């Protein structure tokens, strides 16, 4: 698998830092290509089975996750429109969103930064630093079966939602993304509204979507086909 630069980068980033950005993208692509090849060599049967849309042993499948999230949502709000206060009543849906951001981070390698001063850390002044979010979110030292989509990893034994310390889709520290709260809110409202009003399934005879994605400035899904139909009571829209 190869990663391609976006062909419109000069138009999107028309400034004198474009060359540095493209250099960073090239470094990121090499890192991710190497990790992908390592995964192909060491991948487990479970990860391969999930990629084929089939998983034995009673594990969580994509259909199970979608059905559970939809049922939890239906039990929470019924036919009224979604509102922000529903987030606390739908912890599993939040877990599905978190697991999606973990297993396929929008930005596998975060925006580069440069160390401005020398400190006690081994990173010297002038060093360019890139955070490999893909490696952090797929580290087997912190995630059990990291290539398996499992929203339950964000729930404790009592079913309460938890946030593992190594989960940081928006970065961490003083440079964390300032739009995190808004982005999380939009994800919740968008996904919950879709699940409330629509059902999703593969076309007859179609294979599950390829989850590898295409890497440009961000990780983008590959083209796929899906059948979307209104749920009962939502045929006329809202």
Residue owning tokens 């995630």: 143
Give exposure, 97-119, as e/b (b: 16+ Cβ within 10 Å).
bbbbbbbbbebbbbebeeeeeee
Digit-coded pLDDT (tens) for 183-232:
999 999 999 888 888 888 899 998 888 888 888 778 899 999 999 998 87
pTM for the model stands at 0.68
Neighbours of 44 (CB within 10 A): 12
User: Quick check: 12 pLDDT over 50?
Assistant: no
Cα–Cα distance between 131 and 113 in angstroms, integer?
9
- On whether the CB atoms of residues 72 and 196 are closer than 8 A, the answer is no
Structural domains of the chain in order of their starting residue, each with its CATH number? 9-52+60-230 (1.10.630.10)
Task: Give the residue-averaged pLDDT of 145-165.
Answer: 90
* Cα 168 off chain centre by: 11
Alpha carbons 64 and 75: distance in angstroms, whole number: 16
Which pLDDT score is estimated for 214? 87
Helix (H) or strand (E) holding 200: strand 198-201
What's the mean per-residue pLDDT of the chain? Answer: 76
232: three-class secondary structure by DSSP:
coil
Task: Grade residue 159 by pLDDT with cuts at 50, 70 and 90.
Answer: confident
Q: Is 24 annotated as a binding residue?
A: no
Per residue in 63-98, pLDDT (tens digit) is 555 555 555 555 456 667 888 888 888 888 899 999
């Amino acid at each position: 698998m190869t990663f391609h630069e976006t062909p419109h980068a000069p138009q999107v980033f028309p400034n004198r830092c474009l060359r540095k950005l493209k250099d960073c993208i090239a470094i990121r692509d090499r890192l991710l290509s190497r990790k992908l090849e390592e995964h192909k060599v060491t991948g487990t049967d479970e990860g391969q089975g999930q990629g084929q849309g089939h998983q034995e042993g009673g594990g969580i499948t994509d259909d199970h996750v979608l059905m559970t999230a939809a049922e939890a949502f239906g039990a929470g709000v019924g036919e009224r429109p979604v509102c922000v206060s529903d987030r606390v009543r739908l912890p599993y849906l939040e877990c599905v969103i978190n697991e999606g951001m973990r297993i396929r981070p929008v930005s596998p390698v975060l925006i580069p930064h440069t160390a401005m001063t020398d400190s006690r850390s081994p990173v010297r002044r002038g060093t360019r630093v890139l955070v490999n979010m893909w490696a952090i979110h797929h580290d087997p030292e912190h995630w059990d079966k990291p290539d398996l989509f499992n929203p339950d990893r964000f729930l404790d034994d009592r079913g309460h939602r938890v946030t593992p310390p190594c989960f940081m889709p928006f970065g961490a520290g003083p440079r964390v993304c300032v739009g995190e709260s808004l982005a999380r809110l939009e994800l919740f409202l968008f996904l919950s509204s879709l699940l409330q009003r629509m059902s999703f399934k593969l076309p007859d005879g179609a294979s599950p979507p390829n989850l590898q994605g295409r890497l440009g400035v961000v990780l983008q899904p590959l083209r796929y086909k899906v059948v979307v139909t209104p749920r009962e009571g939502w045929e006329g829209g809202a």
